[in-house]
Amino acid sequence: MYLQICAVILVLSGLGKAHHAADLNLGLQGRATQSSVDNFLGNAINAVDGNPNTDCSLGSCSITATEQEPWWRLDLLSAYEVTRVSVTNRADCCTGNLNGAEIRIGDSLVNYGKSNARCGTVESIASGGTQHFNCNGMVGRYVTVVIPGRQASLALAEVTVFGIEHHH
C-alpha cells in the first residue's frame, strides 16, 4: 500500500513523467556570420550577444553593408528543433529596412542558407520592437535572416532562437 501511495504522489506531482528538455536560447552558443560588415560596430555576433540594446551606435547590433539580398546566419553547430525565433529591430534609424526580411531554417548552406525552408516573414517591426515567429519545431542547423530581392542594409539588434536538440 505504501508503494502505491508513493507512485500516485509521483505521478500527480509530475515527477513520474519523462523529463522533456526545456527550450534553450540557442543563439548564445552558436556561431554567427553575415554577408558583409557595415563598420567595426556591426559584427554578426552582436545580434546574439544577449544584449537587447536597440541603439546600434552603441555596438550591440549586427549591420551589413548596403548590398543585394543581405543575410545574417547563425550556425547552431548541430541540428535542433527550432520552436521560435524572436527578432528585435534597431531603434536609432532605418527601422523600415527590416520589412520583408525572411527567417529561414535548415541544414543547407547552398545560397548561404537563403534557400532553406521559411519560418516567417517580417511584415513590420516597430522601432526597437520585437517580433516572434513560431517555427513549430522546424529542424535545422542554420537559422538565416535575409532581405530577399532588393538592395538594403540588414541590421539586427537581437535575434533569439529557441529550440530543443533534435534526436534522429
Task: Tell me, yes or no, whether 4 lies in a domain.
Answer: no
Task: Tell me, yes or no, whether 12 lies in a domain.
Answer: no
Residue type, 41: L
Rounded-to-10 torsion of CA 54, 59, 61, 62? 170
Mean pLDDT by 10 residues, the chain (168 residues): 45 41 78 93 94 91 97 97 97 94 97 97 96 97 97 96 88
Please tell me the predicted confidence (pLDDT) of residue 141. 97
Please tell me the predicted confidence (pLDDT) of residue 40. 80
With 0-12 / 13-18 / 19 or more C-beta atoms within 10 angstroms meaning exposed / middle / buried, residue 9 is exposed
Task: Tell me, yes or no, whether 51 lies in a domain.
Answer: yes
pTM for the whole structure: 0.85
Number of domains, the chain? 1
What CATH number is attached to the domain comprising 94?
A: 2.60.120.260
Please tell me the predicted confidence (pLDDT) of residue 103. 98
Task: Tell me, yes or no, whether 8 lies in a domain.
Answer: no
Task: Tell me, yes or no, whether 43 lies in a domain.
Answer: yes
Residue 109: domain span: 19-165
Task: Tell me, yes or no, whether 11 lies in a domain.
Answer: no
Give CA angle at 95 (93, 99), nearest 5°: 160
Please tell me the predicted confidence (pLDDT) of residue 22. 61
